[in-house]
Structure 1
């Protein structure tokens, strides 16, 4: 696949997660608390900030292209879990999350390409985490 195309796909998939994560960490986490409390989490505010942190770090990893295979799978599963848990009853949101999951799984399958951190081939022990 074209390396520029992979880079563009990583930008389209990663930047929204960077924005959503940053928004949650800068005070938007409180909006998640009622929904997280409703599913029975013990301290929903802490989980809301953890969600923001995961989204921010995952988005940065996708944009940088490392470790894109691991993060692609995790964010793809995250999108499917969020669709099931938070968006049931809203077909548009479910399909949006399913579409993002497909993109993340595709990036995980193809790799980051050469326009990425370490040009897609991490050195030494970092090579174990792809």
Structure 2
């Protein structure tokens, strides 16, 4: 019982790989299809929102946000180019949480911060062994 409660799961164990695989696929696909799909191509509302924040080149930033969420989410789910995709998603979620929803109550920002935390983890840790990145790195 003590080992079950307090002993760390070895990194070479399948349970460890499962604990990386399930959140990677879940967060990647939910980001891509729940948040990103409707932003590619960027709707006028997104471009207008970016323009109202005073950012330069609002059409470019809208495309970057939409592609980050859609293509980045798919890449994270596949475990392909996971670190760069997760880094771009982290930046996008930081902008969403700290700038876009700056004046909103925490319960509105919470989703962006949750995604931010998860994508920062994948940007640092990578995708794990059950990923395309791992298959490529073995060759």
TM-score for both structures, normalised by structure 2: 0.73
Q: Which SS does the other structure have where 1:84 is aligned?
A: helix
Query: Are the structure 2 counterparts of residues 69 and 43 from structure 1 closer, same or farther at C-alpha, using a change threshold of 3 Å?
Result: closer
CA contact (8 A) 2:68 2:85 kept: no
- Deviation beyond 6 Å, 4+ runs, structure 1: none
For structure 1, the 5+ residue unaligned runs are 125-130
For structure 2, the 5+ residue unaligned runs are 1-10
Choose 1 or 2 for highest CA Rg. 2
Distance 2:126 2:56 in 1: 37
> What is the CA deviation profile of residues 49-87 of structure 1, one whole-angstrom value per residue up to 9, with x for unaligned ones?
332122212111101112212222332232112211110
* Equivalenced residues, count: 123
- Give the one of 60, 72, 85 matched to 2:99: 85
TM-score for both structures, normalised by structure 1: 0.78
Residue equivalent to 1:122? 137
